Amino acid sequence: MLYDSLARDHINESSETAKRRRQERIIGTLSYEADLSAQLSKYANMCMLCNVFGRLDDPHPLHSCPTLRKDIPPYDYKAFFSWQKEIRYNPKIHPPVCFLCHLPQGEKDRLHPAFTGKREDCPYPDLIGPAVYAIMSHPDLKEEAVSEFPGLNVSSPSKTITWLIGAPMKGHISNLISLFLWYARRN
Ligand SMILES: [Zn+2]
Ligand SMILES: [Zn+2]
């Protein structure tokens, strides 16, 4: 009898705790996604490579970005695309994300409409990737990022990618997005 009631109390308590934790997780996810959306909307239609390097320029496509040509070795826009191609997610540790913008759909498609693979259906095709590439190429910012994220290794672009697509920090979609949020929240 006693065992029964104790067990029942225990079950009730743990299901209440589980319910509360689940609610906290949902609230946490929603506020995280709301913050991420707000940060992304600040940069709509901006060139993030220029933004990170403090250059105020009219909007331009990546292949004619002056920052890629003047400030980021090897001064060739193709290097950015090769780097971005190496960013591949692991379905065991990452949610499904859009290959153009790195965003998942989020709760009720709050972050991204259904994936079609078309640029016109992607809200921010050239935002997070270029921002992170520019941060990793900026002499001061990359050092600041290393002190913020101890696992990040900026000694070579491939070592950077290992961390960017490695196991995400708790509560984050990916380390790539953590790095973008770190930059966006201070600007
Ligand atoms: Zn630019
Ligand atoms: Zn997208």
CA distance linking residue 15 with residue 91, whole number of Å: 29
Contact 93, 168 (CB under 8 A): yes
Q: What is the pLDDT of residue 28?
A: 78
Ligand 2 centre and the CA of 33: distance in Å? 15
- What is the whole-number distance in angstroms between the Cα of residue 11 and the centre of ligand 1? 57
Q: What is the pLDDT, as a whole number, of residue 4?
A: 39
pLDDT of 68 above 60: yes
Distance 1 CA to ligand 2 centre (A): 57
**Cis, peptide link before residue 74, omega less than 30° from 0:** yes
Residue 124 per-residue DSSP state: -
C-alpha 40 to ligand 2 mean position (Å): 12
State in Å: Cα 106 to ligand 2 middle. Answer: 12
Ligand 1 centre from 120 Cα, in Å? Answer: 20
CA distance 126 to 62: 8
Six token digits for residue 132: 């992170």
Digit-coded pLDDT (tens) for 3-54: 333 344 455 567 888 888 887 777 778 789 999 999 999 999 899 999 999 9
Give the ligand with the smallest distance to the CA of 118.
2
| pLDDT over 70, % of the chain | 93
Q: How far apart are the CA of 166 and the centre of ligand 1, in A?
A: 28
pLDDT at 152 over 50: yes
Residue 137 predicted with pLDDT over 70: yes
Quote the CA–CA distance of 45 and 161 in Å, as a whole number: 26
Q: Distance of CA 178 to CAs 55, 165, 172, Å?
A: 23, 11, 7
| Ligand lying nearest the CA atom of residue 67 | 1
Q: CA–CA separation, 56 vs 24, rounded Å?
A: 41
Helix ranges, 43-127 (H): 48-52, 66-70, 77-85
User: 175-185 vs 139-148: helix axis angle to the nearest 10?
Assistant: 110
d(CA 68, ligand 1 centre) in Å: 7
Task: State the pLDDT at residue 12.
Answer: 59
Tell me what pLDDT residue 10 has: 53
* Helix axis angle, 128-137 to 175-185, nearest 10°: 80
Q: Looking at the predicted structure, is the pLDDT value of residue 2 above 50? A: no
Question: 14 CA to middle of ligand 2, Å?
Answer: 39
